[in-house]
């Protein structure tokens, strides 16, 4: 079982924008030449003419069957996310929370203290029958009006009921609504009338910057309301993500050096404004405890999957049907090594040797990054891939299938 102190291997790179709802049916699968405007856009981005990666993402060169993908949306929190959570009074004038504010404005008090006071009421202890499941974990109040709490799937794996303790000690019975092992996100529901719930505010993942303050709040080893602080160390693809070790899923994670240990799983990683930027999920370790390599599922991914769970929507993972690797030199993008017969990629007209430059509007630099992006989309969704074949650019339209 994956938990907050398992040793996992980290991959690299950043993710892509995803919508919270299924995309409308688009054009039929197939390949067409890129329009002059699309060619100009690619040339302006620099991805087709030089070897630099504008996002700073690194390439692993590893191969995966795409349709083995997942990851974060770079947009506003989707339907179901709370926007009424506590605000942190760090400056006289509160900036627009949807717009990244860097360099950060001058704060009027200790920022970690302010974050802890604002967000701690929204972070809970989740207790599971230790004979069946994980034992102890954390959770974040996601929707106070309806009693929804988000946590990690590995915390509630195999159980239908849990016990939830609020920061003031209030004990509540919680029902596991559902969860995604591919994304390691689950939803628990408590009676919203039984206690005064305080919903957290979730920040868009696009606001996250490497080097910014990161405050972790949770219940390591059952120590409720523990606060640790550090920075955002990186944003990486965890090649062995999800909560099923037998079916690893590339998952985008926010890396932090804030101390995270067993029991922090499902708790909050917050920015200096007290907004949740991620759900603490796992660590890399050589000792069994924190060595400053913690990983959190980004806020947008948590919001997206929680919304699907609550709405009873499919949690199947999208499948494209290629293998490949990061390009080298001038081949910036994902070089297709194989296209599986009968796959969505084959129907879209992709061929071995094609270089995938972008998925929609987002540049792709690495097979794990592309895999993660595809896997967060659902079967039946239509995607457009900009590819380079020789000296020509094409747009391939693919309708994703179900992985498995």
Choose the catalytic residue: 138, 167, 181, 265: 265
d(CA 390, CA 89): 55
Residues in the chain, total? 404
The residue assigned the tokens 């339209």 is 397
Q: Is residue 114 part of a domain?
A: no
Quote the pLDDT of residue 15. 29
pLDDT of 65-85, one tens digit each? 443 332 222 233 333 344 444
Residue 185: beta bridge partners?
180
Residue 217, classed as helix, strand or coil, is strand
d(CA 288, CA 7): 8
For residues 367 and 284, membership in a common domain is answered with no
d(CA 365, CA 32): 22
For residues 321 and 284, membership in a common domain is answered with no
Domain-ending residue, one of 298, 326, 353: 298
Alpha-carbon dihedral 288, 294, 297, 299, rounded to 10 degrees = 140
Q: ω before 379 within 30° of 0 (cis)? A: no
96 annotated active-site: no
pLDDT tens, the chain, 404 aa long: 334 433 332 332 222 223 334 444 567 888 888 777 777 777 766 554 443 443 333 333 333 344 333 222 223 333 334 444 444 443 334 445 554 444 455 555 789 999 999 999 999 999 998 665 558 999 999 999 999 999 999 999 989 999 999 999 999 999 999 999 999 999 999 999 999 999 999 999 889 999 999 999 999 998 999 999 999 999 888 777 788 877 888 888 999 999 999 999 999 999 999 999 999 999 888 788 888 899 999 999 999 999 999 999 989 989 999 999 998 887 789 999 999 999 999 999 999 999 999 999 889 988 988 998 998 898 999 999 999 999 899 999 999 998 76
Q: Among 252, 332, 333, 337, which Cα is nearest to 295's?
A: 252
Choose the catalytic residue: 154, 233, 343, 354: 154
Q: What is the pTM of this model?
A: 0.76
d(CA 360, CA 365): 13
Q: Among 123, 140, 182, which Cα is nearest to 157's?
A: 182
Q: Is residue 194 part of a domain?
A: no
- Domain holding 384: CATH number? 2.30.42.10
Domain-ending residue, one of 241, 267, 298: 298
d(CA 85, CA 274): 9
For residues 338 and 278, membership in a common domain is answered with no
Quote the pLDDT of residue 34. 78
Residue 392, classed as helix, strand or coil, is strand
183 annotated active-site: no
Choose the catalytic residue: 184, 257, 354, 401: 184
Q: Is residue 99 part of a domain?
A: no
Quote the pLDDT of residue 93. 40
Quote the pLDDT of residue 108. 59
DSSP state of 172: E
Domain-ending residue, one of 253, 271, 298: 298
The residue range of the domain holding 265 is: 205-298
* Beta strand residue intervals within 276-341, DSSP E: 276-283, 294-298, 318-319, 322-326, 334-339
- Domain holding 229: CATH number? 2.40.10.10
DSSP state of 104: P
For residues 236 and 285, membership in a common domain is answered with yes
184 annotated active-site: yes
* Tokens matching residue 403: 């992985």
Q: Is residue 55 part of a domain?
A: yes
Residue 374, classed as helix, strand or coil, is helix
If one counts the domains in the chain, the total is: 2
In this structure, are residues 239 and 290 in contact, taking their beta carbons and an 8 Å threshold? no
For residues 266 and 217, membership in a common domain is answered with yes
Q: Which ranges constitute the DSSP H helices of 178-290?
A: none
Element (H, E) at 256: strand 249-256
Q: Is residue 227 part of a domain?
A: yes
In this structure, are residues 322 and 339 in contact, taking their beta carbons and an 8 Å threshold? yes
């Amino acid at each position: 079982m994956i938990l907050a102190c398992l040793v996992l291997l980290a991959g690299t790179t950043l993710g892509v924008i995803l919508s919270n709802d299924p995309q409308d049916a688009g054009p039929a699968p197939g390949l067409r030449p890129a329009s002059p405007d699309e060619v100009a856009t690619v040339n302006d981005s620099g991805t087709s003419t030089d070897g630099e990666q504008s996002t700073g993402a690194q390439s692993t060169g590893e191969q995966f069957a795409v349709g083995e993908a997942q990851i974060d949306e770079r947009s506003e929190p989707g339907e179901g996310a709370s926007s009424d959570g506590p605000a942190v009074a760090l400056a006289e004038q509160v900036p627009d929370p949807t717009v990244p504010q860097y360099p950060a404005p001058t704060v009027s008090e200790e920022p970690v203290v302010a974050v802890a006071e604002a967000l701690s009421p929204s972070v809970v202890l989740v207790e599971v029958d230790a004979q069946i499941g994980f034992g102890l974990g954390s959770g974040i109040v996601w929707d106070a009006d309806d009693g929804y709490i988000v946590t990690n799937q590995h915390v509630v794996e195999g159980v239908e009921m849990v016990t939830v303790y609020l920061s003031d000690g209030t004990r509540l019975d919680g029902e596991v609504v559902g969860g995604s092992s591919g994304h390691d996100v689950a939803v628990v529901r408590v009676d919203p009338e039984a206690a005064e719930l305080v919903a957290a505010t979730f920040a868009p993942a696009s606001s996250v910057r490497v080097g910014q303050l990161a405050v972790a709040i949770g219940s390591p080893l059952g120590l409720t309301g523990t606060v640790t602080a550090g920075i955002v160390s990186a944003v990486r693809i965890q090649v062995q993500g999800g909560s099923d070790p037998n079916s690893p899923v590339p998952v985008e994670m926010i890396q932090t050096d804030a101390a995270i240990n067993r029991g922090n799983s499902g708790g909050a990683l917050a920015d200096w404004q007290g907004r949740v930027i991620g759900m603490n999920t796992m660590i890399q370790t050589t000792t069994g405890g924190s060595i400053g390599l913690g990983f959190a599922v980004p806020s947008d991914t948590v919001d997206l999957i929680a919304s699907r769970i609550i709405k009873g929507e499919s949690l199947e993972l999208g499948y494209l049907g290629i293998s490949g690797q990061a390009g080298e030199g001038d081949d910036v993008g994902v070089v297709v090594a194989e296209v599986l017969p009968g796959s969505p990629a084959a129907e879209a007209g992709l061929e071995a040797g094609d270089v995938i430059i972008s998925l929609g509007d987002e540049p792709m630099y690495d097979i794990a990054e592309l895999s993660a992006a595809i896997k967060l989309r659902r079967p039946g969704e239509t995607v457009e891939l900009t590819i380079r074949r020789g000296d020509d650019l094409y747009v391939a339209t693919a309708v994703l299938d179900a992985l498995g």
